[in-house]
Amino acid sequence: MKLEMKDSPGQLVAALKPISDVGGNIIAVIHQRDPDSTHHMLNVQIVLELPEGRLDKLVTLLKNEGVHIQRIGKERLLYKRTVIMIGHLMHTDLSDTVDQIDSTGFAEVCELSMSMPAINERSTSRVTIKAVNRNDMETALAILRRVAQQKSLLLLEPLAEEAP
């Protein structure tokens, strides 16, 4: 959720309490107070888990607290895995490797970081994939395994999946 509220003492706490009141779990709160702001409003992004059917009640409670809801988004890619790929990643078209996951419609590469020691040396890349459910994650990883084999890349996978 992206919220806008008055920049006054206690307002952030007042905005967070309704989440608890409806049984929600706050995962992250992101905001930065700008002391030079002339409009005296605070923008806050909140990542939360909410039991099914409680969103309407939360919206009502937030509005009663004077909080303006700018955006509500629903995460559909709940399963996440991070793998390491080693090899000539750039020479074997890394964008093609990413596209083969992204084009599925049920999984996507959401993070990618790379270390390239020298032009003729193997690169190392940390790749994080998100998928809709466990089965789709396994399908996405199977695609990545096939691509790694075709392109002679070493694929290192974790022993356990990351919790949604």
pLDDT digits (tens, 9 = 90+) for 81-123: 999 999 998 888 888 888 889 888 788 898 999 999 888 899 9
- Does pLDDT of 132 surpass 60? yes
Judged by DSSP in three states, 126 sits in strand
- By the 10 Å C-beta count (0-12 exposed, 13-18 middle, 19+ buried), 54 is classed as middle
Helix pair 55-64, 11-21: axis angle to 10 deg: 150
- What's the topology of domain 2-71? Alpha-Beta Plaits (3.30.70)
Domain ranges in the chain are 2-71, 79-156
H helix or E strand, kind and range, residue 25? strand 25-31
- What's the topology of domain 79-156? Alpha-Beta Plaits (3.30.70)
Strands (E), 32-158: 41-49, 68-71, 79-87, 107-115, 123-131, 154-156
Q: Which of 39, 107, 113 is nearest to 79 (CA)?
A: 107
The pLDDT, as a whole number, for residue 77 is 61
Same fold, 2-71 and 79-156: yes
Parallel/antiparallel/unpaired status of strands 41-49 and 107-115: unpaired
